Structures are given as structure tokens and as C-alpha cells.
A and B are shown apart, each in its own frame.
Chain A
Amino acid sequence: GAVVSQHPSRVICKSGTSVKIECRSLDFQATTMFWYRQFPKKSLMLMATSNEGSKATYEQGVEKDKFLINHASLTLSTLTVTSAHPEDSSFYICSARDHGNSPLHFGNGTRLTVT
């Protein structure tokens, strides 16, 4: 089945620094990937849609300059949290589908802690 790999699984950084999270589709090509954010005991909230070779589409209320998304190839999307602050601490999860009617497959998430 389709596998989505996310790295790192856990990262701790200091306030003001930037953190890059990678999302890879291991056995399929994904022209589109989706980035979600999840707070403790809350559901997944869509942050942005990452499009290969073009600009990402951000959901309302998500700062595009803070959450930089790059989808440079058909198997890799990256999310960079710039100038991170403690309120950016959260669980970030990426997802993709291997074809139009298949379910979304999710990575195992990245737990970001900003101190």
C-alpha cells in the first residue's frame, strides 16, 4: 500500500529558530500533498495544500510566511516553520494519496516543541 514517510518524528528547538519537516511518498508519486496540524486531544486541521511545481495553497488564518511549503519533486514536500515560537508547538502531519479516488495516507507526524 501507499506509504508516506515523515521526518523528523520529534524536534525541540529554541524560540526564534526555524525547523524543516520533510514528507516523502515512498512508493508513489504525489502531485499534491496536504499538511495538517493537530493540538492535544483535538482533531486534524488542514493548514495548506502543497502542489508540485507551484505555490502552496494556505487555509484561512495560516500565515504563509511563517509556514513555508516547498514541493520540489513528485515525492517530496517540506514544511519549514520559520522563527518558531512556543505557540507553534504542535503535532504536524502530512498526507497524500496515490491516485484520485484512493484514501489519504498519512505520515507518522512530527512533534514540534519550541522552548
Chain B
Amino acid sequence: EDQVTQSPEALRLQEGESSSLNCSYTVSGLRGLFWYRQDPGKGPEFLFTLYSAGEEKEKERLKATLTKKESFLHITAPKPEDSATYLCAAPLISGNTPLVFGKGTRLSVIA
């Protein structure tokens, strides 16, 4: 069964303490791995799409990487405003199909 699994479920960091979030997937014929940020009471906000193993993308303090079986979201020197739930997702098949989401990692960055 195709699925997306994220770990840890929750992560608490001190401001400036770098860490990584994990997303492993078993979707066959992957057509992109997506990372989103979701703030409480809001819809998910798109961060990155990764398509092939070895690909990396960066945005401010975030860097996403992809291997054949998993993706990592690295957070360097986080700030309290980085606190959010980070979701990864993958489409089941190509074309205009919905995304299957992992359960997310709730990140709290403490000043």
C-alpha cells in the first residue's frame, strides 16, 4: 500500500538548535515529493517539490533533500517563527491527482 510516514511526530528545539525531519515513502513510481508548512488554523503552505534522488532545495533556514526512499527537511539555526507543522506528501500517480499526506511533524522552537 502506498503511504507516506513522517518522524518524529513532534520536535522541540531551542532557538539556534539545528535538526532534521524525516519523511519516508513507499509510493511506487514517485511523481514528486512535496513539503508543506501548516500553521494552526490555516491551510498548508507549499515549500518544496523534489523529483529525483540527490535533489536538494533550499529556502531560508530550510533545506529539503531526497533519496530513493526518504526525504529530509533540514532546519538550520531555527527561530521561533519556524514553529509549525511540517507535512510531506506525494501524489499516487501522475497527472492531476490529489496528494497523500504524512501525519506531519509538529515543530516547536523555543527562544
Seen from chain A, the residues whose Cβ lies within 8 Å of a Cβ on chain B are 4, 6, 31-32, 34, 41-44, 46, 49, 91, 93, 95, 97, 100, 103-109, 111
Contact = CB atoms under 8 A, between A and B. Distances in A.
A104 B99 contact: yes
B87 A6 contact: no
A44 B90 CA distance: 12
B95 A100 contact: yes
B41 interface: yes
Given A6-B43, A103-B49, A108-B43, A44 B101 contact: yes
B103 interface: yes
14 contacts: A6-B43, A34-B98, A41-B106, A43-B87, A43-B102, A46-B100, A93-B43, A95-B98, A103-B34, A104-B89, A106-B43, A108-B42, A109-B43, A111-B41
A4 B44 CA distance: 11
A3 to B, nearest CB: 11
B95 A109 contact: no
